[in-house]
Amino acid sequence: MTNPFIKGHYQNEAVAQSYDEERFSSLVGKTFDRLEKRAIGRAVREVLKEKPDPLVLDVPCGTGRITEFFLDQGLKVTGGDISLAMIEQARRKCARFGDRAAFAQLDLDHLDLPDGSFDLVSCIRLFHHLGTTERGAILKKLSRVSKKFVLVNVSFSSPVYRLRRRLKRLLGQGVSKTSSTWDEIRRETREADLRVWRTYFPFRFASEDLVLLLTKTNDAHAASDGRK
């Protein structure tokens, strides 16, 4: 299940307060934030074609970076996180949206929500930390509470991206803890009764980040492969 270090680390008040500043205040961080949100926005537009007024769950919501983005698109969003310190940061960030924003303490290992509670369930910047078994287990929970759509991002693994990761390590640059091959993505989604509908690279080749829009397998519109 979810790495215990991750679950504990982000419950620290100091970590929650410094999270955005450390990751998204630099030029590189701001650029990545903009590109990732652009990719997520493309996925949201696809969802809106099928469901004009979707109810959204963003989990883990962290400090509300993506929760706020969804709210900016006019959506009604519940942000969930195991960390009350993170939720407090998110609540402050999203206070201007009034009752369109709600927050709840949620543990992805024990997601205490009814089946099919939300039209769209998002899980951003978590799978980079998890191995295939953990990712598969979380996907099953996300699928269960979604009526139709699940949105996640992964660190994509292919010969080109594996070479890029090796070069970054040689240069002393940080890389994600884990990565996902296409075969792993297909297996993990299939076992969660999901399939890939759309894929978006925020910054192809310059970043391993890959945004996946998944749909329940009983969706007649779902493509057999999903790559674009």
Residue 56 domain-assigned? yes
Asked whether residue 109 is domain-assigned, the answer is: yes
Asked whether residue 144 is assigned to any structural domain, the reply reads yes
The four Cα atoms 165, 36, 206, 172 give a dihedral, to 10 degrees, of -40
Q: Can you tell me the distance from the alpha carbon of 50 to that of 175, in angstroms, rounded to the nearest whole number? A: 36
pLDDT of the residue at 115: 97
pLDDT greater at residue 192 or residue 219 = 192
Question: In which band, very low, low, confident or very high, does the pLDDT at 175 lie, cut at 50, 70 and 90?
Answer: low
Q: Where are the alpha helices (DSSP H) in the chain?
A: 4-9, 13-24, 27-50, 65-72, 84-93, 132-145, 159-170, 182-191
Query: Domain count of the chain?
Result: 1
* pLDDT attached to residue 172: 74
Q: Examine residue 193 and state whether it is found in any structural domain, yes or no.
A: yes
Whether 225 maps to a domain, the answer reads no
pLDDT at 108 over 70: yes
* CB-based contact 46:213 (threshold 8 Å): yes
**What CATH number is associated with residue 123?**
3.40.50.150
Whether 102 is covered by a domain: the verdict is yes
Is 175:143 a contact under the CB 8 Å cutoff? no
Confidence of residue 162 (pLDDT cuts 50, 70, 90): confident
Residue 1 has pLDDT above 60, yes or no: no
Q: 4 by DSSP, 3-state: which?
A: helix
Asked if the structure places residue 64 within a domain, the reply is: yes
Q: How confident is the model at residue 219 (pLDDT cuts 50, 70, 90)?
A: low
With respect to residue 227, please indicate whether it lies within any of the assigned structural domains: no
Give 135-160 pLDDT, tens digit per residue. Answer: 999 999 999 999 999 999 999 998 87
User: Where in the sequence is the domain holding 200, given as residue range(s)?
Assistant: 4-216
Q: What is the pLDDT of residues 48-88, one digit of tens each?
A: 999 999 999 999 999 999 999 999 999 999 999 999 999 99
Classify residue 226 as left (phi > 0), alpha (psi -120 to 50) or beta: left
